[in-house]
Chains A and B, each alone.
Chain A
Amino acid sequence: MQNVDLLYLFQGIATMVASEPTIAIARVVLIGLGILFVFLGAKETLEPLIMIPMGVGMASVNAGVLFLSATTMGTIFVDPMASDVTKLMDVLQINFLQPIYTFTFSNGLIACLVFMGIGVITDIGYMLISPFKSMVIAVCAELGTVLTFPIAVAMGLNYKEAASIAMVGGADGPMVLYTSLMLAKDLFVPITIVAYLYLSLTYAGYPYLVRLLIPKSLRGIKMDLTKIPNVSKTEKIAFAIITNTILCLLFPVAAPLFMSFFVGVIIKEAEVTRVVEFLESTVLYGSTFFLGLLLGVLCEASTILNAKVLILLVLGITSLLISGIGGILGGYLMYFATGRKYNPVIGIAGVSCVPTTAKVAQKEAFAVNKRAMLIPYAMGANISGVITSAILAAIYVTLLR
Chain B
Amino acid sequence: MENYFLGSIKLLPVVYGVTAGISFMVAGIIKGLFAAVSFRTARSRAENESEG
Contact = CB atoms under 8 A, between A and B. Distances in A.
Interface string A221-265: 000000001001001001100110011001000000000000000
Interface residues of B, number: 25
Interface stretch (A22-30, A36-44, A187-195, A384-392): A384-392
A149 B18 CA distance: 16
B29 A150 contact: no
Contacts of B22: 247, 250, 391
Given A250-B22, A391-B23, A131 B11 contact: no
Q: Is the interface of B mostly helix, strand, loop or mixed?
A: helix
A12 to B, nearest CB: 43
19 contacts: A128-B30, A132-B27, A139-B19, A139-B20, A139-B24, A153-B4, A153-B7, A154-B8, A229-B34, A235-B34, A242-B29, A243-B26, A246-B26, A250-B22, A387-B23, A391-B19, A395-B15, A396-B15, A399-B15
Given A150-B12, A232-B37, 19 more contacts: A128-B34, A131-B26, A131-B30, A132-B27, A132-B31, A139-B20, A142-B16, A142-B19, A149-B8, A149-B12, A159-B7, A242-B33, A247-B22, A250-B22, A384-B27, A387-B23, A388-B19, A391-B19, A395-B15
Interface of A: 127-128, 131-132, 134-135, 138-139, 142, 146-147, 149-150, 153-154, 159, 162, 229, 232, 235, 238-239, 242-243, 246-247, 250, 384, 387-388, 391-392, 395-396, 399
